[in-house]
Amino acid sequence: MNKEQKSHLMNIYEAHRYSFFCDQPFFSNGEVSIQNCKHCPSIKSLITWMPIVSQRELAKTKMCFQEKVCVNRKGLRFKGVRCCQEIDENFQRMNKDLYNYVPELNIFIKQRGNYHFGLIPQNEHPAKGCHFYVDKKNKIVEPAPQLRGIIARTYLYMRDTYQLALTSDELRLYQAWHQQYPVTDWERERSDKIKAKQAKGNPYVK
């Protein structure tokens, strides 16, 4: 992510400076003010911009991710997200889309990793200071109910705009979340601000 994107996102979140998963407030310089979050880091932390749809999910069906079509300075061929960042224009557009980014602490970004969002049956996993549950065996992250709508509408938007591949189960889940968790005032305000920056709206946010 370049400086311009970070600047746009900071401006978009100017009146709503809270981390995504656990609602931790942060300042205009990105410094996080930890409050009532025993699993958050006690040391000084800065906000990072997390893609809701991970880079791996954006790239997984592309040739640049699956085959060694890139060549590094030493002449060695490679593949993966880095290759897609270098040569795939559609991936580059997806990777720059501001709708896909939310503010988060690194500790939660690392725990989310490339896991899918979903519901964890018979949830007995410890919460990370808020409603953030991780099923490492099945690679699932269960977000708080109030986040499920924006997550769903982001995935559906990315699918429609960039032909993001979703399984039938993923599509069914996100369509259900879209209906079950309506657009909030903040989500609508956020969408309007992003549209003003990149001249492209999310039709699922009305």
Cβ of 69: how many Cβ atoms within 10 Å? 17
Establish if 149 belongs to a structural domain: yes
pLDDT in tens, 174-197: 999 999 999 999 999 999 999 999
* Burial annotation 144-158 (CB, 10 A radius, 16+ → b, else e): eeebbbbbbbbbbbb
pLDDT in tens, 58-105: 999 999 999 999 999 999 999 999 999 999 999 999 999 999 999 999
| Residues in CB range of 125: below 8 A, 6 or more apart | 133, 134, 135
- Tally the domains of the chain: 1
Establish if 199 belongs to a structural domain: no
Question: In the prediction, which pLDDT does 94 show?
Answer: 95
Backbone angles phi, psi at 82, to 5 degrees: -60, -40
Establish if 151 belongs to a structural domain: yes
Cβ of 174: how many Cβ atoms within 10 Å? 23
Establish if 201 belongs to a structural domain: no
| Tally of residues, the chain | 206
Establish if 111 belongs to a structural domain: yes
Establish if 126 belongs to a structural domain: yes
136 is in which domain, residue-wise?
A: 3-194
Global pTM value: 0.92
Establish if 204 belongs to a structural domain: no
